A and B are shown apart, each in its own frame.
Chain A
Amino acid sequence: MTVVATGESRPGTEPQGDVLVQVEQLAVEYVGRDRVVRAVDGVDLDIHRGEIVGLAGESGCGKSTVANALMQILRPPAQIAGGRILFAGEDLTKRNTEQLRRFRWQHVSMVFQSAMNALNPVMRVGDQFVDAMQAHERISKREALGRAGDLLELVGIDRRRLRAYPHELSGGMRQRVIIGIALSLRPELVIMDEPTTALDVVVQREILQQVQDLQRELGFAVLFITHDLSLLLEVAHRIAIMYAGEIVETAPSETLHARPQHPYTKGLMSSFPPLTGRLERMTGIPGAPPDLSAPPSGCRFHPRCPHCRPEDERLYLRQTTERPLLKPVAPAHLVACHLVEQGGTP
């Protein structure tokens, strides 16, 4: 693989540690009175130690459900309907409530999109750090506040702000406070679910730079979930693309950027107009994502796929009746597409 020399260390070129998380054939269902929606259907995903993995897809594709399953915070009507989630080799789906409570935050922490609302409005920032730490560790308030101050400085906020209330901070600062709290117990994995979506583009860039610095310094792994593929191509080492509850393609960021294979990935790429260079009329993807209570047969993308035409009878039959499986097209590059499998180029 050729690496374009654009900076000293481009994502995808750094050595990764051993496997931290293995998601195997995960299925999650939302059970309603008269129907069952399978929001996640047979997802395989590995996260290595110290790796930033991006999970991209449109709203309703199941990406947040994967995150919630990983964090084990699914609540009825959502339930795990199949598969395993191994964390450092241990199956999380087999643990009891108390084990899970200890596990959360200590090993995996999570940063949500609406950080503005994740903080308690009537509690000082410092006390919210202390709360998180004391729930998991025997630590004096004094000591916890000391560490909280260090964490605030780590995320670029003056430690005197420990005494501030959330409303005294800007949206970007509150999001950084949340990241600080998420790091307070030195977790091995931080799940970030649209962490910058509600923020302005300049603040978003500041926070992304900070996350990358912290990740390099502290070595935790990140599962970064967003609908914004252009952002993931910048920050992630590896990217998985989700569509209608399934992962349809996964590859190192550079490979995905240079040689996307799945027609959906290609469609996503042509949904972001460029800021520089020639401006051509773009097409996006026709149609809309399917209703998961009655997903399309065969390949779930086939109703929107430009390469699914009845004229090619044999391929059409497979596309409309047979579920494509993730198969390697190059090292570390997997694609679930009948056309690609046949050797065709979408």
Chain B
Amino acid sequence: MSVLASNLPTPKMPAVLVPAVAIVRSWKTPIVLGFFALLAVVLFLIFGRNGVSRLQLSTSSDFFQIPVIPVDTRVAGVIVPLLLVAIAVWAAVLVFRAKKVPLWLLAVFAVLFLFVFLVWSSAGQTIPIAGLLVGAVGVSVPLIFGALGGVISERVGVVNVAIEGQLLAGAFVSALVASITRQPLLGLLAAMVAGVLVSFVLAAFSIKYLVDQVIVGVVLNVLVTGLTSFLYSTLLSPNTEALNSPPRFQRIEIPLLSEIPVIGPVLFRQTIIVYLMYIAVFLVWYGLFHTRWGLRLRSSGEHPQAADTVGINVNRTRFWNVSLAGAIAGLGGAYFTLGSVGGFTKEMTAGAGFIALAAVIFGRWDPIRATLAALLFGFATNLQSVLGIIGSPIPSEFLLMLPYLITIFAVAGLGGRVRPPAASGKAYEKS
């Protein structure tokens, strides 16, 4: 094992191994930061608004109450954009000295931008910060499950475009089974089985029949969409009472933890699916990078010949891990019916699988980063609906566009060239 570990290019190693040519300066990060700083100056300083925004952090059932924080919109609109400009300039200086822009600086930039944006758009109003975050986590749940499934599948060497299909199959089957048995837990199990079944097709066609993995993925999405819509029209829709009224999971409040302001309601007053998600994120991260299973999985995706040479059955590893990925994505599908909406509708995932796929790539095939990327999408989507309620000066469509635009900027500017697992997308046949 130790020999294997030292030979295998783990994803972080190339960054170390590639001899850093001394004076390569990437100006992308300062350019992107500069753009957003300029945007902030124009929007929040020049078109600044008067008034006081009140940030409400506590909910009524918290341990102790944090008073509502009033922020003068005009003052914040002057100070924060200038800070943002300062950070952008600093980043440029760092790049000029051929140093890396630290990640925490980007995080500070993002938080400051978000803060001034919230304050500016809610001038004269109260923003329920906790509510905003609770909703964001809710929207993110299927995305995170889907992204985890995508990470596992692509790390083992099978490109998973079928996340959308796995989510949709999970949503459909969980609604059906939970309605018939009146047991949401059985629905959850059934959703995993449904995700696995979709994965079986993906794995069989890509591993046994060597069909291009993207083709299978795209086609599976169409197949699952067609099947679920057809069965919805013929079976579920005429018998809504019996077949499509699943019981929903109740929120479980974890004692003490759930009463911490902000964090409590956001993280610890959720349904069992969300708690499963925390466990899944941790397990996938730990498993991938700290266990034998993860090493074998990654080696099958990075260098199948080498993995085969040391005695790993590449295709079996791929098959079962793609199935596992399907089970995880299926769980995410169950959240649509058992966690949030209740009852299946045609194409209810509405492209969440594609967003999850984007989160996988955006998160550079790392479970934690992919989770953060999924949270970003979820947050932005929910931000729009909250701002829609309090009435924002910007048309809601532009707010809705924002997460996607930010992603494009991030992928083009900050992420740089992403490196997928080397053998991802290639069928492996023992010679």
* A-B complex is real: no
Interface residues of A (CB under 8 A from B): none
